[in-house]
Amino acid sequence: MNEQTINDFILLLKKKQQLENDGYQQSETLKTKNNLFFQRYKKAEFKRLLKQFPIFDIIPQNQRNVLNDFQFIKSSYNEGDKRIYIKKNNDQNQYEISIDGQNYYGNFKGYVSYCASNIVLQQNTKYIFRIQLKSDNYNDLIFGLMKEKNFNIQQGKSDLMYACFKSKNNKLQLQSSYLTYNYLRGQDMELEQGGIVELRIWQSGKLFQILDYPNYDCKATLQNETLTQLQKMNDLKLFIEVCTSQERHIITDALIVEEFDD
């Protein structure tokens, strides 16, 4: 442990003790909000410190968790309404979406289907969706936006506004046979199995961004032509594509924010 790391650790411990003395409830971690100490440091620097020493839970300001407002509707496309399994985990406030491969005996086993949110996204609202991805090798994990009018008629990804992670060698790589992703930071986004992706949406700002969470080492977006179309649409929903029982999408957060972090 070098001198800088020791100094960082001492700084956080002193602040933790100060907050406890000021009346904050003692716990394994401390939740903090509206505290000037944290406003003096760059967010990226604090993320580095807290990753090393997780003694604080930072409560982000100016955001609202709206996951409970969402429901996910199974599409009848390729009999998804008979195959898709949606589990709401109330304890963790998460949705898990997969295929029930054991109880389906129809003709579309192994075919792509999807579910979509009951809510049409508002053009002027800034959304953050965080999705944990799990899959066996050689499956594609796909999620994104689709037009409401196309629900049950065609694949969700047909509107070409989606993220595609290919599962290979126990890694998840952002790549698609039909889309080219532009990188705003980093390159060749790759996650471990069970990694979490953050999807940021702001239609009126022509913003569709894909980030690795929580490190934010990479930030990717769609082609400019697609983003221009995104700005004009008023009937978009979040969709999750599923194909086999080996794929799992776990929606851990749905947030409305005032601003996006870098």
Complete domains list, the chain, with CATH: 3-59 (no CATH), 65-257 (2.60.120.920)
Question: Would you say how long the chain is, in residues?
Answer: 262
For 73-132, how does the pLDDT look when each residue is reduced to its tens digit (9 = 90+)?
999 999 999 999 999 988 878 999 999 988 899 999 999 999 999 999 999 999 999 999
- Copy the structure tokens of residue 54: 């997780």
Mean pLDDT value across residues 220-242: 96
How high does pLDDT run on average in the chain?
85
pLDDT at 1 over 80: no
pLDDT at 40 over 50: no
Residue 45 DSSP symbol? H
pLDDT at 27 over 50: no
CB 237 within 8 A of CB 120: yes
Distance of CA 147 to the CA centre of its chain: 20
pLDDT at 31 over 90: no
First-to-last alpha carbon distance for the chain, in angstroms, is: 29
- Copy the structure tokens of residue 89: 């985990």
- Copy the structure tokens of residue 232: 């004009």
Residue 64 DSSP symbol? E
- Copy the structure tokens of residue 38: 């944290």
CB 130 within 8 A of CB 70: no
Phi, psi of 164 (to 5 degrees): -125, 120
CB 208 within 8 A of CB 222: yes
Which of 192, 196, 223, 222 lies closest to 209 in space, CA to CA?
222
- pLDDT for the residue 55: 55
CB 72 within 8 A of CB 118: yes
pLDDT at 61 over 80: no
Q: Is 183 helix (H, G, I), strand (E, B) or coil?
A: strand
More confident residue, 151 or 45: 151
Q: Which residues contact 81 (CB under 8 A, 6 or more apart)?
A: 74, 75
